[in-house]
Amino acid sequence: MEIATITDGEFGENCYVVADNGCLYVIDPGVDYDGIKAAIDKCQLPVKYVFLTHGHYDHTFSVKNFDKSIIYAHADEKGLLNDAAQNLSEFTGTPFSINGINYYSGGRYMIDGIEITHTPGHTAGCVVIKMGNSLFSGDTLFYDTVGRTDLPSGDPKILQKSLKLFDSFDKSLNVYPGHGAPFVLGDAYKINYFLKKNNK
């Protein structure tokens, strides 16, 4: 498995283009579509799925460049994706809403060996995506903190509960967050106040 990281210069969000078994998987197609396209073209492989960890505009800006039939998000994110004010694109000068993509529901969703776990809190339909030894954590978990909870459908109590779900993950997983550098999950447990809080 090979992972290319495309970080937008203005908003700092990470898009990941993952090459695995002859296919590409795009996680959070954000603002820098030129960079995302270059990473895809370099691999010369078909894009099988596009996964959204959540609906905020900086993680979904380039969704419009992909076929809707391969895009997946959690059903609890539908309202936010559909609404330019809630997905915050309204405040960027380029309002957009996302409709007609695929939605799954429930706490855990498996697709082709990829394990998606619902981790609400930053937004209602946030998920983390596990592929092999890599965990794509969106804005749910960063190395030393968590995503903000003061935006539409955010809830600090629910996020704290969602963090409990990380206890069941192998601590050797490499975590690729929605912003910032990757880290080993076990290392975050040593220093991240929000993870430590659950395990006192």
Residue number with CB closer to Zn ion (56 or 78): 56
Residue number with CB closer to Zn ion (35 or 125): 125
Residue number with CB closer to Zn ion (12 or 107): 12
Q: For 82-87, which contacts have Cβ atoms below 8 Å and span 24 or more sequence positions?
A: 83/152, 85/152, 86/55, 86/152, 86/153, 87/55, 87/56, 87/57, 87/60
Residues 120-179 that bind Zn ion (CB under 5 A): 139
Beta strand pairing status for 134-138 and 174-177? parallel
Residue number with CB closer to Zn ion (13 or 20): 13
Q: Please tell me whether residue 56 binds Zn ion under the rule CB under 5 A.
A: yes
Measured CA to CA, the distance from residue 76 to residue 67 in angstroms comes to: 21
What are 121's strand-pairing partners? none
Measured CA to CA, the distance from residue 114 to residue 14 in angstroms comes to: 19
Residue number with CB closer to Zn ion (24 or 163): 163
Question: Residue 89 CB, nearest distance to Zn ion (Å)?
Answer: 12
Number of shown-chain residues binding Zn ion (CB under 5 A): 2
Retrieve residue 149's tokens: 């909870």
Binding track over 87-126 against Zn ion, x by CB under 5 A: ----------------------------------------
Secondary element (H or E) of residue 159: helix 156-163
Question: Residue 170 CB, nearest distance to Zn ion (Å)?
Answer: 25
Residues lying near Zn ion in the complex (CB under 5 A): 56, 139
